[in-house]
Structure 1
């Protein structure tokens, strides 16, 4: 896996990232750090990546279990250390799974498997942050 990051000096503290799969991602800093607030911060992008990684796992596990899952939303909130390096110290993830007759036990198992076995992003972040999860199932 690889990624190339390019600083865009004409745009203050903006950066573009080109992923190994050929996709582009923009990042920017806060105005008080020289950015123009035109794109997510790099740490927000990291948090979004972790949320996307675990949501992918949960949906895939539920689909493989032949559950009629129709939607999955993950609300991710994080706390950071006060001093440099301002690592994540706590990450809370709340899953809302929508579907038809999706058992709560299946969702609980999918979330647990993601966080204990499959989601490399959240497992890696758990080295510095306490990662907690919760979920709800909504009938579609």
Structure 2
């Protein structure tokens, strides 16, 4: 896997993936685009959501929606690494069993989400979920 990041001027950078997709990043606290650290949160949410949805579908759970709300705290020193990140999965569907959602969230966190597994060495990652029936 390869990527390139190009400085656009000021504190804006454009990342281009090997597949040709682009993402603009703003090092100035995310004023014009997500900051790189916001990108880390979004990547964690995306990676884990892919897992959770896939696992729930394979478990034949009737899900109609999934989103994850992430919150992170950073240390007060430089570099300002994440100290903690919490993920709250919100699953929508009919007759969705909590045991299946809990299993999916745990499998993602402990086994499948590459982003979470990379961050685990330095970051305390926690998670919970809620199920919303229509």
Task: Tell me which interval the TM-score lies in, with the shorter structure as reference length.
Answer: over 0.9
User: Structure 2 stretches of 5 or more lacking a match?
Assistant: none
Equivalent positions of 1:84-123 (< 5 A) are: 84-123=78-117
**Counterpart of 2:76?**
82
Aligned mates of 1:79, 1:127 — CA distance in 2: 16
**Which structure 1 residue ranges, 4+ long, deviate > 2 Å from structure 2?**
none
Equivalent positions of 1:1-140 (< 5 A) are: 1-9=1-9, 12-30=10-28, 37-140=31-134
3-state DSSP of counterpart to 1:122: helix
Shift in Å at residue 29 of structure 1?
Answer: 2.2
Shift in Å at residue 111 of structure 1?
Answer: 0.1
RMSD: 1.2
Aligned mates of 1:4, 1:92 — CA distance in 2: 29
Aligned mates of 2:17, 2:81 — CA distance in 1: 23
Q: Which moved more, 1:104-113 or 1:79-88?
A: 79-88
Q: State TM-score, norm by structure 2.
A: 0.96
Aligned mates of 1:94, 1:71 — CA distance in 2: 14
Shift in Å at residue 100 of structure 1?
Answer: 1.1
3-state DSSP of counterpart to 1:39: coil
Q: Deviations over 1:20-42 (max 9, x none)?
A: 121010011227xxx8x210101
Q: State TM-score, norm by structure 1.
A: 0.92
User: Structure 1 stretches of 5 or more lacking a match?
Assistant: none
